[in-house]
A and B are shown apart, each in its own frame.
Chain A
Amino acid sequence: MTTSAPARRTAARIPVRLDRRYLPVLGTFVVLALMLVVGGTRYDNFLTPAVVSNLFINNAHLVVLAVGMTFVILTGGIDLSVGAVLALSTVVTAALLQAGWPVPVVLPLAVGVGTVIGLAHGVMIHLFQVQPFVATLAGMFFARGLCFLIAPESIAIGDPAFVELASWVQIAGQWRMTSSVLIAAIVLGVAFLALHFTRFGRTVYAIGGGEQSALLMGLPVARTTVLAYVVSGTCAGLGGLLFAMYSRSGYSLTGVAMELDAIAAVVIGGTLLTGGTGFVLGSVLGVLVLGLIQTVITFEGTLSSWWTRIVIGVLLLVFVLLQRVLSLRRT
């Protein structure tokens, strides 16, 4: 076995070290690029700063959700509550602002709601060995119900400080972004660092690769599992805040089925639902692909917006099949 090792080593070094782990993400990237090119040639005004900015602005909250979801899926779990938690966070934000609470108090509270729910999930899943699907399903009903309890109707947000926060930020020349995009970018950066440069992040991957193994390797499995759900819950809370900035309102029916969008983005981004393989950058690409489908269909004009769903469904299937082929070839 030692004799064949050097051969493998050189073989892996010479072609620009393309690990097959990056293949799914690369696939997503290619799809994204193709869509941009096709869109750009087919429609005028497609590749303008405004359209691209809007792509980011419209999906900033989904990026944050998908980033949080990536942590959970990497451990081999799932979080079905993020859509409902997002809605709860918008409602809490709007209701508290309406009641006259100051913005610096409201913001951490809105995010904290998600953190607490995430913590509850983690504890249920780890301590009581409840299936992640069931635990977060319960969390989803709980959060959605709580939304209606607080405010069944949509509440508009008029607080000037909050509106100011949600306004445009000049980046360079023509480029303008909302602060929500910047926040999403920061979240992405932090998540990337956490996953790849901390023991917590590597433990997330290890748990996905085999929880029993991770346990026997002496890694802090308990803490990490709980923390992954806390991350997802917090991201959902933050996502709610971003969505409230975006829609200037809090409404208990926002984000219905948004958890499924987040999961779809993560899967399209190349993360395996069985855990252990995937990248947070891929999830962001996944969100952009979803957003771009929407944009293309808007540009097409004649198509019903429900085509978005059909295309997403097809794309999801293609990507899952692709992953299947890749993982089959590996074994």
Chain B
Amino acid sequence: MTQQTPPPVVELTGVTVEFPPVKALDGVDLHLRPGEIHALMGENGAGKSTLIKALTGVHTPTEGTVVVDGVERRFSGPADARAHGVSTVYQEVNLCENLTVAENIMLGAEPRVLGGLHWRAMRRQAATHLRRMGLDIDPASSLGSHSLAVQQLVAICRATVGDCKVLILDEPTSSLDTDEVEHLFTVMRSLRDDGVAILFVSHFLDQVYEVSDRMTVLRNGRLVGEYVTADLPAAELVQHMIGRSMDVLEAAEEVAERTERPAGATPLLQVLGLGRKGSIQPFDLDLYEGEVVGLAGLLGSGRTELARLLTGADRADTGQARVAGRPTRLRNPRTAMGHGIAYTSEDRKGEGVVDGLTVRENIVLALQAERGWMRPLPRRQVDEIVARYIEQLGIRPADPEALLRNLSGGNQQKVLLARWLATAPRLLVLDEPTRGIDVGAKAEIQKLVADLAAGGMSVVFISAELEEVLRLSHRIAVLRDRRKVAEIDGEGASTAQVVDLIAGGGAA
């Protein structure tokens, strides 16, 4: 900051985007300088995505100016923006898994010979780009054969082909594990040092603090301010983001107080040697009423696979399950539901909410399915249930007729929770319920989980964030390489202890 600051490569002034009657963005400024990592912070629905879309030409601002490299621009779309050096990498990897890595990197800027593709040169150039990313993979292999993390890096690789002045990373880390995040940060830093301006969106505060130089904070479509990361304490940042004090967050801190389980109690669900070939090795697990059991493990360690067996989403090929002491076969989600077992998938969009239906329809979906289509729920009862959960979970907008696709991620998650709570389950399996949602909503969901357990429900809680699992769980099952490797008491367990178990007991 002591040297002269370079002029910003991207300058947004007073940008307003309206989706009548809503103002999604209201007079927001953004200054991106070359050679900096600039974090864009805000809760869900604060307008981060809208801002990115306004910059890349997906949305047209109704007011304000977008200046890139000193020239005022109105991009016609992402392709146009990219042609002017502004590339975006989205949360979901938007590449084609059926094509080769080389194609995914080079298509659009592919070398040609005699009017056709020059495959050899294409692979060679792709390999060069990959090396710069520190990726040693065969450019001729198909993209689908690589892990999500590698695909994410390939997406960034693609974005930096050609003249890339500005790189926008929208939640690039949400599905990566710690090592992969570190690798990504190394790549980001080296791009920054090459003079690229990086706009970084993430929900992980510690990551933002680790990697960003400056940040812009939004709230409810308005600019809160622009800060130098090092000068802004995390607590203050959170207050800027949520616009209220830390009460809710602190409430969640106190969750871990436990209700004593009576000795000799029958587990609500007991599984013995349950397993599925190619999915997860046989494991034992007891789930008691009033208890939160956390599943900890790296991405791909079998967390989701375990949950899917518990809930009948996948069928086990070995082992048995007992519900309240009675042997039961969990053949499919429907039989599981019949035993009071509910499951919310980690894939909120694909396996959770129906985004073309309204909040009301989504909430009563499971309840209605349980009753069968022959006995429709009376409308008055539906309205009552929906109103109760909207109120209880604080779903915003509090409109039962709102289409789900218009809700933010956190609110979609709440609707999903409401759907299962409406069926009054005895066991609730939550797979990544807090992924990709903002701090405030996260705290609310954590608190809700604790309340549900206190009310006698049995909860299985899966999250990639270890702190969250530790804080909420009474017991923690640790998974590694598709095997349950340990089960520890949640109280008194430390992050270091769990990390040690995940990493292989310190031996590996």
Contacts and interface: CB of A to CB of B under 8 A. Distances in A.
A209 B90 contact: no
Nearest to A13: B138
B150 interface: yes
Interface string A278-300: 00000000000000000000000
Given A198-B117, A212-B94, A1 B147 contact: yes
A1 B98 contact: no
A214 B79 contact: no
Contact of A209 (B98, B119, B137, B138): B98
A2 B149 CA distance: 11
Given A8-B138, A205-B99, A210-B96, A217 B108 contact: yes
Interface string B91-120: 000111111000110011010000111010
**Could you say which of A1, A206, A212, A277 has the most chain B C-beta atoms within 10 Å of its C-beta?**
A1
A330 B97 CA distance: 12
Contacts of B147: 1
Contact of B79 (A5, A199, A206, A218): A218
Interface residues of A, number: 31
B96 A5 contact: no
A217 B158 contact: yes
B23 interface: no
Nearest to B144: A330
A276 B117 contact: no
A219 interface: yes
A203 B149 CA distance: 24
B116 A1 contact: no
A330 to B, nearest CB: 7
Interface string A195-222: 0111100110110111011101111000
Interface string B195-215: 000000000000000000000
Contact of A219 (B107, B138, B180): B107
A2 B134 CA distance: 8
Given A1-B180, A9-B137, A218 B78 contact: yes
B236 interface: no
Contact of B142 (A5, A9, A19, A216): A19
A276 B144 CA distance: 12
A277 B143 CA distance: 13
Contacts of B117: 196-199, 202
Contacts of A202: 99, 103, 107, 110, 117
A21 B98 CA distance: 9
B89 to A, nearest CB: 10
A276 B79 CA distance: 22
Contacts of B82: 218
B97 A197 contact: no
**Could you say which of B88, B144, B180 has the most chain A C-beta atoms within 10 Å of its C-beta?**
B144
Contacts of A12: 138, 141
A217 B107 contact: yes
Interface of A: 1-2, 5-6, 8-9, 12, 19, 21, 193, 196-199, 202-203, 205-206, 208-210, 212-214, 216-219, 276-277, 330
Given A2-B136, A206-B103, 6 more contacts: A5-B136, A198-B117, A209-B99, A212-B94, A216-B90, A216-B94
**Pairs A-B, 7 closest by C-beta atoms:** A209-B96, A218-B79, A197-B116, A209-B98, A276-B98, A216-B94, A213-B94
